[in-house]
Structure 1
Amino acid sequence: MSVYTTVSETEIASFLTHYDVGQLIGYQGITEGIENTNYFVTTEQGQFVLTLFEQHTMAEMDYYLSVMAFFHSQAIPSAYPQADMNGQYLRNLNQRPAALVHRLAGNTLQGPASLAQCQAIGEVLAKMHNAAPAFTTHQSNLRGAKWRAMTASQLITHLPATAADLLRQELAYQADYDTLSLPKGLIHSDLFRDNALFIADKLTGVIDFYYACDDYLLYDLAVVVNDWCIDAEGYIEHNRYQALLQRYGQLRTLQNNEMTHWNKILRAAALRFWLSRLYDKYFPKQGSLTQTKDPTAYQKILQQHQSKVLVIPSVEIDHGERH
């Protein structure tokens, strides 16, 4: 979350008149994140996040907000949109699609996750994947293999020789990504530690569904592992990894072909975020409150997966829970 489009108090107050949420009490720009403009908004009836979508059309946002409403309806602890007085989730604000989303209790993690927090995110991710078949609207991954190849071509001449060589090698390795016969469905695809809220070790909600799409369920798990299971030095740490994978596996069985391709998918997930962070570094967006994340963190994770294949742990299951 960031602020790229400045919105005045008067403009926010006017926007809120279309919702049954009472008068504006206060608002504050949010600096976390890197894609959209976000404000915390407090009204007479509650706390919300006002988001202006900088890169998406109204049609695209209809999909993302429907995803949020769906997961909320499935008892997944997650942020969900407030409908306006006409029953619509989206309106225009300063020439941007905009939505008002209920603000959940809790805070994002500021450091490495605890074992209990890793278990909690593994559990909710498995529940999301088990619920996904009931969502019948589909959208391809806008940060999938085609995007990775296109973005790499824009970046390659800007990179030091060693990084450019690494990128070329990984793109070649990932060339068959779209042909893998792996279970697909609705995924979050961006479930980092700053997109989940906790009170102590209790998960209170998943937020920021604006990269939701159809892709391999295993890719969603890989995105989570690459962020949640790292230690203070930025490397995958065994105990966190075991805790997360075991809890996920208690609720959703990984197929044999998913285990076979686990390393490739971990590398694809690392490549995606290495590329997006490199792009933000070399082609920065302008904003009044913005945050650019270090691309070398994901280069390090990618190289770790290239040099060491992580094994999926065996799972002790409660047969009443597993799907």
Structure 2
Amino acid sequence: MAVFTPVTDAELGDWLQHYDLGDVVEFRGIHSGIENSNFFLTTTHGQYVLTIFEKLTATQLPFYLDLMRHLASHRVPVPDPMPRRDGSLFGMLKGKPAAIVTKLEGAPELAPTPAHCIEVGQMLARMHLAGRDFARHQPNLRSLSWWQENVPAIASFLTDSQRALIETELAHQAAFFASADYATLPEGPCHCDLFRDNVLFAHGRQHVRLGGFFDFYFAGVDKWLFDVAVTVNDWCTDLETGALDPARVDALLRAYQTVRPFTPAEDCHWNDMLRAGAMRFWVSRLYDFHRPREAELLKPHDPGHFERILRERIHAASSHAQR
């Protein structure tokens, strides 16, 4: 959520003529993230987030916005896109598609406890089930084919050890994705990027309360297990070592499975999917780090974090196999 495309007050005022959202009270850029230009927008009608999409096209965008509307209608706490006066959920701002969504309550929890993981696990399962009757279909655009396409573009920046790791894991994941077991894994719309900073909590006096999930612009139809693995790799990982914290893993997975139990194939391939989740973000962070775009506010993430996570997941699988 960097600012690649600045917007002046005059440009904003002209664009808001297409909405019934009242008068602007405050408008400011959001500094974190690396994919789209995002702004907090407060009007006399409420608080919103305005997003200018730097990569997504007007053809791709309806999937994400319609998915959020669908989930919101099923009482999943997500940003709800605001319709324009013509009924559309986005328009063109400075030559790029842009949308306004409701701002959720709360703040991210960057040091989660098992109690936070329980809330996330339950809501993630509810979100998966709520998406079963969503009519649109778009694959996860950062899945295996994207890794295969982009690994060659970053290979020259890697050490020999890193190249060996990424090429070996790419072959492992290609075989996993082509397997009969993989084909049987249940699937549907997934967030695909449910990190700690994409979830808000509104803390009550006696308990934690989930405010909602946001930033659905990496969402796609994928295996539900992949979505859980991506979530666990962030919410339940020690940030220094990349190792999983058993208490948080147990809390999140138990909570998820009270709503949607895993199938036998999901249980069998849990570690494969943890590795897939780590691979996806190692590749993307390597690409963003070594081939960055210019931005007014840009903070690329450390790719080494997901290299450590991937090595830890491979080590865990090897240790389990030797028992």
**Fold shared by both chains (TM-score > 0.5):** yes
The two structures have a TM-score, normalised by structure 2, of 0.93
Residue type of the partner of 1:118? C
Secondary structure at the counterpart of residue 85 of structure 2: coil
Displacement of 1:61 after TM fit? 0.6
The two structures have a TM-score, normalised by structure 1, of 0.93
The aligned counterpart of 1:210 is 217
Q: How does 1:101-180 map to 2 (within 5 A)?
A: 101-109=101-109, 111-179=110-178, 180=182
Q: Check the 8 A contact 2:72/2:80 in 1, yes or no.
A: yes
Separation of aligned partners in 1, 2:264 and 2:135: 26
Displacement of 1:310 after TM fit? 11
The answer to whether the aligner puts 1:261 opposite 2:260 as a matched pair is: no
Q: Check the 8 A contact 1:37/1:54 in 2, yes or no.
A: yes
Separation of aligned partners in 1, 2:51 and 2:141: 20
Q: Check the 8 A contact 1:263/1:310 in 2, yes or no.
A: no
The aligned counterpart of 1:74 is 74
Separation of aligned partners in 1, 2:239 and 2:172: 29
The aligned counterpart of 1:316 is none
**Equivalent residue for 2:256, pick from 248, 255, 268:** 248
Q: Check the 8 A contact 1:112/1:231 in 2, yes or no.
A: no
Displacement of 1:244 after TM fit? 0.3
Residue type of the partner of 2:90? L
Separation of aligned partners in 2, 1:108 and 1:46: 20
Secondary structure at the counterpart of residue 298 of structure 2: coil
Separation of aligned partners in 1, 2:71 and 2:167: 38
Secondary structure at the counterpart of residue 174 of structure 2: coil
Displacement of 1:235 after TM fit? 2.4
Secondary structure at the counterpart of residue 3 of structure 2: coil
The aligned counterpart of 1:228 is 235
The aligned counterpart of 1:275 is 283
Displacement of 1:63 after TM fit? 1.1
Residue type of the partner of 1:217? W
- % of aligned pairs identical? 40
The aligned counterpart of 1:184 is 187
The answer to whether the aligner puts 1:195 opposite 2:198 as a matched pair is: yes
The aligned counterpart of 1:309 is 317
Q: Which runs of 4+ in 1 moved over 4 A?
A: none
Separation of aligned partners in 1, 2:84 and 2:132: 28
**Equivalent residue for 1:299, pick from 292, 307, 312:** 307
Displacement of 1:178 after TM fit? 2.9
What is the aligned residue count? 310
Q: Does the C-alpha gap of structure 1 residues 224 and 310 become closer, same or farther in structure 2, counting only changes over 3 Å?
A: farther
Tell me how large the CA RMSD over aligned residues is: 1.3
The aligned counterpart of 1:317 is none
**Unmatched segments (≥5 aa) in structure 2:** none
Q: Check the 8 A contact 2:82/2:89 in 1, yes or no.
A: yes
Separation of aligned partners in 1, 2:317 and 2:176: 18
**Unmatched segments (≥5 aa) in structure 1:** 312-323
The answer to whether the aligner puts 1:23 opposite 2:55 as a matched pair is: no
Q: Does the C-alpha gap of structure 1 residues 232 and 141 become closer, same or farther in structure 2, counting only changes over 3 Å?
A: closer
Q: Check the 8 A contact 2:199/2:213 in 1, yes or no.
A: yes
Separation of aligned partners in 2, 1:112 and 1:166: 29
Residue type of the partner of 1:184? E
Separation of aligned partners in 2, 1:302 and 1:18: 46
Q: Check the 8 A contact 1:121/1:244 in 2, yes or no.
A: yes
The aligned counterpart of 1:315 is none
Residue type of the partner of 1:230? T
Q: Check the 8 A contact 1:90/1:99 in 2, yes or no.
A: yes
Separation of aligned partners in 2, 1:195 and 1:177: 28
Secondary structure at the counterpart of residue 119 of structure 1: helix
Displacement of 1:253 after TM fit? 1.1
Separation of aligned partners in 2, 1:238 and 1:184: 26
The answer to whether the aligner puts 1:38 opposite 2:38 as a matched pair is: yes
Q: Check the 8 A contact 2:53/2:96 in 1, yes or no.
A: yes
1:160-215 residue CA offsets vs partner (Å, 9 max, x unmatched): 11111111110111112333121111111111111111112211111011111111
1:216-257 residue CA offsets vs partner (Å, 9 max, x unmatched): 110000000000001342421111111000000111010001
